[in-house]
Amino acid sequence: MDLLERLRTIVLAATLVLLPMGGGLHAQGFPQREMSNRKDTLTAAVKTAIRRLDEQLPGTFSTDLKALQGMVLSPVGENDPIKFAMTRPGVASGAEGFSAFFARGGNLGNNLFTLDGVRIYGLSHLLGLTTSVPGDAISTMDFCIGGFGGEQGGLTASHVALHSPAFDHHTLNASASVSNTFLGASVSAPIVKDKASVMAAARWSPFGLEYGLLKKGFDKQGRMPSLSLGVWDAYVKTQWQVAPRHELTLSGFGSRDGYSIGFPSADYTLGWENAIGHLSYRFTLPATTIRADISYNHFRNRMEHAAVVRGDESYLQLQSKIGEQAYGLTALHAFFNGHFLLSEGLKHQRGDMSPAGAKASESRIKVIEDAPFTESKSHPTLTSAFLEMEFNFGPVNLMANVRGNYYKNRAERKQDLYEGMAWEFSARAKWRIISGLGIEATYDNRTQFDHTLEGTPLGWSLDLIVPSTNRLLPEHAEQWYGGIFASFFNQAVTIGGYHKKMENLVYYTDAMAMFTAAAQGWNDHVQVGSGTSYGAEFLYEGRLPESGAEWSLAYTWSKTDRTFPYIYEGRPFPARYDRRHILNANGQWKGVSAGFTLQSGHWETVPAGQYIGYLPAGEVVLDYFTHPNNWQMPLYVRLDLGYRFEFQTRNDGARPLQHSLTLGVFNVLNRHNPSMLTYDSDTKTWNQVSLFPIMPSIKYSLEL
């Protein structure tokens, strides 16, 4: 079994632990000769928190995390804001059940994730099944795919902005929860009444213990791989009202995913971690707010491989690191009773990046822990300034911003040097022509200075993040959107279309290079090209205030392609997650929630035929490929159901305790949806691998 097959096996083996209530894997095989006769289609799903469209800005969807409670947003039953974003129009999902998504034809690495304005590089948890930020540390989320604000740069597809809860300087609040995936707790309390408060939230996953019990009870013959893991996250924030108009906030976030998987002839260790510190000072005047921010961001991912090859031990350790410091100053001014807003800001970022460092030896014992990695190091800096104006009066909302960026990569290798200037522009307009009917539009011209080399199929944090170089120029996207919206009787509809052109996209031609001793030569396996995406989007939402019922229906028709000069003779071919049709329907009523999703299949690369080749040793049979992503997987169809029951208990006249029990069933139809293809060289067949059958989940929460 080669290394790529081992990695796929790791995915499947690790997934076993994520099926604690009877789940499993399914592989459906079909002969290679049948591939050319099959066509079409796939999906992803999630539920929705409903907000009226006429309250939303074009290209932006906002939600309160409380509104997502009770919905089956992920296979593990966690309350996940990223899965909510994946139900919005214009968004295609990656592999089944995971956090990877693709907004309006962009790549996975074109999405920006922030917590209170600070970027999070490793957002996935439990191999991508949920988000690494504790749910109690998030109060609201803004998801933007067009009409981007000027303050946040470094994206060309979408911005997921997570916001922590506001402080209550008077009351103690606490909560605890237990589920089959996490044990969690949170607390917020005043330190000095009316002056200072602190909050903390943390989670820990007991999956390692659960897997050990599962293996001990059902694996009498020792066929299941050994598996140990450490998965946790924590968030702490304190706020001090220094003076009536002066506020100081200090926060910290950390998360870790670590997995050790053992096979009879090989051991693998996977892991990634985040560590973020953020200091923010806010000064408020009647018409002006000034904010100063300092942050430090650490991200690291790693992989270790110990194996016996032809009787000899070999050991390989890979890692990628990012250390980033950021300093920012922004100001917001309000004029004419808030009808005209003006904001400006300045930000400087300095980073230290070491993509794909590697060290190897004959055995694990001979590896010296302090031995240097063979790695390429870069020290990029980015200085940005922006100016934004917004006009909001009656039926009209207008916004425009300009952002200037000066980027310099002081790399240790000459070929990785780069220095350049880039300007960005965004605008949006919304006009309510008559009561309940209007038009909207957005325009974005955006630049991104780092690239994500997507070497794994699931959107893990193991994908390499690399800086711009003279060969890998900054990515660029220009996007137009226009649509109409209508609202009536607590219902709202929007219909629109977009067109997007992308330049300097990267294509990692040899994902295996990420897992070899030559990984530090990642730039030898990258092609640079372009892409286009266009489509139509539809969103219908409604609610019945009397009963609390809410529902939404989102549909996207889109077409996305990629073009690389040295691939397929420079002709366009489908992007891997070019899902032509995407439908998401969601609703909830009196604690009962349901979500249905139907999507066209993603694309895989398979041989279109075979031919005879001639070598000095004789004839050989070779595979013939037409172009990358030449085979479309079947439709993805999934139905999820959930129920949330809440009640209160009182304790001697004190504040009541809030209890909630959330039950969920992921993939009620038990449909074996496609996640990837694998090739069995013994039977000469391609196998469709499905990860998630029907999966129940349960979560109990107690809140004071």
Residue type, 264: P
Q: Is the pLDDT of residue 313 over 80?
A: no
Rounded CA-CA distance 238/247 in Å is: 11
Q: Checking DSSP bridges between strand 130-131 and strand 657-666, what pairing results, if any?
A: unpaired
Q: Which residue range is the domain that position 696 belongs to?
A: 3-703
Quote the percentage of the chain above a pLDDT of 70. 84
347-401 residue pLDDT tens: 999 999 887 776 666 555 555 555 555 667 889 999 999 999 999 988 999 999 9
Tokens 């397929």 map to which residue? 568
Average pLDDT, the chain: 82
Residue 398: per-residue pLDDT: 95
Q: Is the pLDDT of residue 133 over 70?
A: yes
Overall domain count for the chain: 1
291-305 residue pLDDT tens: 999 999 999 988 777
Q: Is the pLDDT of residue 473 over 80?
A: yes
Q: Which of 572, 492, 479, 563 is nearest to 528 (CA)?
A: 563
Residue type, 176: A
β-bridge partners, 8: none
Residue 280 binned pLDDT confidence (cut-offs 50, 70, 90):
very high
Collapse the DSSP code of 14 into the 3-class scheme (helix H, G, I; strand E, B; otherwise coil) and give the result.
Answer: helix
193-246 residue pLDDT tens: 888 999 999 999 988 787 778 777 777 777 777 888 889 999 999 999 998 899
CATH of the domain at 526: 2.40.170.20
Q: Which range has the top average pLDDT, 9-23, 25-39, 558-572?
A: 558-572
Q: Which residue has the higher pLDDT, 30 or 646?
A: 646
Residue type, 600: S
What are 189's two structure tokens?
Answer: 């309390």
For the entire predicted model, the pTM comes to: 0.88
What are 142's two structure tokens?
Answer: 């803004």
38-57 residue pLDDT tens: 222 222 222 333 344 456 88
Q: Which of 527, 530, 550, 532 is nearest to 540 (CA)?
A: 550
Q: Is the pLDDT of residue 557 over 80?
A: yes
Q: Which of 411, 357, 355, 361 is nearest to 381 (CA)?
A: 411
Q: Is the pLDDT of residue 310 over 60?
A: no
Q: What is the 3-state secondary structure (H, E, C) of 221-253?
A: CCCCCEEEEEEEEEEEEEEEEEECCEEEEEEEE
Across 300-327, b (16+ Cβ under 10 Å) vs e yields bbbbbbbbeeeeeebbbbbbbbbbbebe
Rounded CA-CA distance 99/607 in Å is: 29
Collapse the DSSP code of 658 into the 3-class scheme (helix H, G, I; strand E, B; otherwise coil) and give the result.
Answer: strand
Collapse the DSSP code of 525 into the 3-class scheme (helix H, G, I; strand E, B; otherwise coil) and give the result.
Answer: helix
Residue 304: per-residue pLDDT: 77
Residue 63: per-residue pLDDT: 86
